[in-house]
Amino acid sequence: MRKIIKKKSRRIALAIIGLAVALWVLVLIVAWSVPLGDFAAVTPVPALVAGQSPLTPIFQTEKHTCGLLALSSIYRSYGISPDERRLRARLGVDRPSILFDTSSTGCIQPDIYRVLGQDGFTYVNIPVNDASTTVKLQSHLSAGNPALALIRRRETGNLHWLVLSGLTGGQVTLYDSLQHDPYAESWPALQRECLIEILFVSPSQLDAKNYSVAHHHYQGMKAMYASYTKMKALPARAPLPNETATAPTSHTRTIDPPGVAATR
C-alpha cells in the first residue's frame, strides 16, 4: 500500500512539474510575441508641427510593411525622417510574432504606440462606430492631424494599416501604401464594412505626461484585443471577382487571439 501511495505521489509531483514547465513555455511564447521592436530610449522630436510637409503615400513593395509605411507617411508630414528615427527596427517589422513562423511579420499595436509615445506624439484610440465617431474624426483631421487606421481589405480579407487625411461630404481621403496616389472612399461604407481601429495622432502637449514603455505596451495590448473583437463583429466579406490582386498584400494572415499572436 505504501509503495502504491509513493508511486501516485511521484506521478502527481511529475505532473505538477510538467504543468509548471508548460506554463513557463507559454509565458515565454507570449513574451516573445509582443512587443517586437527595439525598446531603446530615444530623444523626443522637438517642436512637432502638423503639415510641415505634404502627406504622401509610400508605395509598398514588401508584404509586411503597410504599418511601417503608413507611420512613415505621417512622420514625413511632420518633417521627420523615418530612417533617422529607425522606425523599421523600433517597430520590429521584420521579427515574427510567432516563433519560427516567418510569415508572422509586420507591425503590432504595442510597438506602434510605444514608438509614437517615445517620439513626442499623442495617440488616442477612439471607438469606430460610436455616434460621435464621425464628428470627432472630422474635427481631428480638420486640425491638420492625420489618423492611423486598421482595416480589413475587401479584396482579400487581409488586415491593412493606412492613413486617413480628410473627411468631406461623406467621403474620406485615404493614403494607402497599395496605391501610388491618395483616393476617396465612402466613409459610411468603410466604417461599416472594413474599419477595425482608428488612432488619432497629434503632437504631445508641452505638459503631457511622459508615460513609460510599459504603459504604451499595455495600451497596445488592449488595442489588439479590441481589434480582434471588432474584426469578428464585421459583416461577412462578399467574395470579389478580382480576388487575385497584382499589388502586394499587406498582411498574410488575420488577427489571432490576443496573447497568441498579433495583428500584422
Give percent of the chain above pLDDT 90: 47
In a domain, 245, yes or no: no
Does residue 156 register a pLDDT over 60? yes
In a domain, 254, yes or no: no
User: Which residues have CB under 8 Å from 110's CB, separation 6+?
Assistant: 34, 35, 216, 217, 219, 220, 221, 224, 262
In a domain, 99, yes or no: yes
Please give the C-alpha separations between residue 167 and each of 49, 140, 148, 159, 198, in angstroms, as whole numbers. 21, 10, 14, 22, 14
Residue type (1 letter), 148: L
Domain that holds residue 220: 34-233
In a domain, 256, yes or no: no
Q: Is the link from the previous residue into 35 a cis peptide, with omega within 30 of 0? A: yes
Does residue 250 register a pLDDT over 60? no
Is the C-alpha dihedral spanning 71, 184, 192, 159 positive or negative? negative
Q: Which range, 42-51, 152-161, 199-208, is most confident?
A: 152-161
Segment 163-218, tens digit of pLDDT:
999 999 999 999 999 999 999 999 999 999 999 999 999 988 655 567 788 899 99
Name the domain count of the chain.
Answer: 1
In a domain, 117, yes or no: yes
- For residue 147, how many C-alpha atoms fall within 13 Å in the half-sphere facing its CB? 31
Give percent of the chain above pLDDT 70: 66
**CA nearest neighbour of 78 among 116, 113, 106, 41:** 116
Give 158 or 44, the one with higher predicted confidence: 158
Q: How far is CA 158 from the centre of its chain?
A: 13
Give pTM, 2 decimals: 0.75
**CA nearest neighbour of 89 among 65, 62, 53:** 65
In a domain, 255, yes or no: no
Of 22-31, 167-176, 218-227, give the lowest mean pLDDT range: 22-31
Looking up residue 45, the CATH number of its domain turns out to be 3.90.70.10
In a domain, 25, yes or no: no
Burial classification of residue 222, based on how many CB atoms lie within 10 Å of its CB (0-12 exposed, 13-18 middle, 19 or more buried): middle
What is the number of other CB atoms lying within 10 angstroms of the CB of residue 232?
9
Segment 99-149, tens digit of pLDDT:
544 555 678 999 999 999 999 899 999 999 888 999 999 999 999 999 999
CA dist., res. 110 & res. 240, Å (int):
33
Residue type (1 letter), 138: Q
Q: pLDDT class for 262, splitting at 50, 70, 90? A: very low
In a domain, 18, yes or no: no
